[in-house]
């Protein structure tokens, strides 16, 4: 198969491309950075250098592909995050329609069944609906949990404040995912037949926020580490103080409020997979500890 993978050499796209190349497929990796070309080629893939905001570039890259893996790369410079995410989804749809691609595996998120009140996830709601409107295209949405890697952003909080926290409680439930499990799921779906529009939830482990603090605290030698719930205002102010643009901080604070209100997980709980991913949070905690102590 000829497969186009968006997402450059990120935590999902790199291992996904490696799996597909090893399986004998012809893989093209989309990246905005020309300096990634040699590294992409070393993987055995072809590099396509350009922007996902350029429909003509996407069309030339998708042409001839049997399947496309789509994801919206982060853009912290966006002054309207939902509009940016939705716009990239529209670009993908235009390129898919123009080139006749018949199979799409799309990275989405738990909570994408909700049209509003979910921070950046509401943009993924838009992307799902845009791709679902394509005639004659099979689309599989991978609704992923909260990435393990996101906790690396809290290293300074732990070191300087001695706590871990956000604007939701220690008792709040968190479906979590190792990006490598998303890569495995994406590779499975790309390589097997499916029809119509469908959803696959990808979660590796489930913990409460308080359990996350306990597991990470034990791994880094701080067994006293506690989860602290912030107000929405304090969470927003803290993220801005840490350097996040206001638009991005506002979206993250809104997402945290949705976690606190437990509305993100309704559809996931109803359609929870029988088997979760194989990479558990306790294993990630050892990787986190190595990075924390380095």
Per-residue pLDDT of the chain (294 residues), as tens digits, is 999 999 999 999 999 999 999 999 999 999 999 999 999 999 999 999 999 999 999 999 999 999 999 999 999 999 999 999 999 999 999 999 999 999 999 999 999 999 999 999 999 999 999 999 999 999 999 999 999 999 999 999 999 999 999 999 999 999 999 999 999 999 999 999 999 999 999 999 999 999 999 999 999 999 999 999 999 999 999 999 989 999 999 999 999 999 999 999 999 999 999 999 999 999 999 999 999 998
Question: Which residue reads 């597909």 in tokens?
Answer: 20
Where are the alpha helices (H) located in 76-120, listed in sequence order?
A: 81-99
Residues 6+ apart with CB under 8 A from 17: 5, 9, 27, 29, 40, 43, 45
Alpha-carbon distance 125 to 122, whole Å?
5
- Give me the half-sphere count of Cα atoms (radius 13 Å) on the Cβ side of residue 243: 2
Strands 26-31 and 103-109: unpaired
Q: Are 187 and 20 in contact (CB under 8 A)?
A: yes
Which pLDDT does position 208 carry in this prediction?
98
């Amino acid at each position: 198969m000829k497969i186009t993978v968006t997402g450059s050499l990120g935590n999902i796209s790199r291992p996904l491309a490696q799996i597909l190349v090893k399986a004998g497929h012809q893989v093209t990796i989309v990246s905005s950075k020309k300096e990634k070309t040699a590294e992409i080629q070393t993987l055995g893939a072809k590099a396509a250098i350009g922007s996902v905001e350029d429909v003509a570039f996407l069309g030339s890259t998708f042409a001839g592909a049997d399947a496309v893996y789509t994801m919206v790369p982060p853009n912290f410079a966006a002054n309207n995050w939902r509009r940016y995410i939705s716009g990239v989804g529209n670009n993908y749809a235009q390129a898919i329609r123009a080139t006749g691609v018949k199979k799409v595996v799309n990275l989405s998120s738990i909570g994408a069944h909700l049209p509003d009140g979910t921070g950046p996830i509401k943009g993924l709601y838009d992307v799902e609906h845009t791709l679902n409107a394509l005639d004659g295209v099979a689309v599989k949405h991978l609704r992923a949990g909260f990435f393990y890697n996101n906790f690396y952003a809290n290293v300074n909080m732990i070191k300087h404040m001695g706590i871990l926290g956000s604007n939701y409680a220690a008792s709040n439930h968190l479906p979590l995912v190792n990006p490598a499990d998303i890569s495995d799921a994406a590779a499975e779906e790309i390589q097997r037949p499916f029809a119509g529009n469908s959803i696959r939830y990808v979660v590796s482990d489930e913990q409460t926020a308080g359990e996350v603090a306990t597991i990470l605290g034990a791994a880094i030698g701080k067994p006293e580490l506690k989860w602290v719930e912030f107000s929405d205002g304090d969470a927003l102010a803290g993220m801005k103080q840490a350097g996040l643009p206001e638009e991005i901080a506002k979206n993250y604070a809104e997402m945290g409020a949705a976690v606190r209100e437990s509305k993100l997980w309704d559809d996931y709980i109803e359609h929870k997979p029988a088997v979760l991913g194989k990479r558990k949070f306790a294993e990630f905690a050892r990787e986190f500890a190595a990075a924390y102590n380095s």
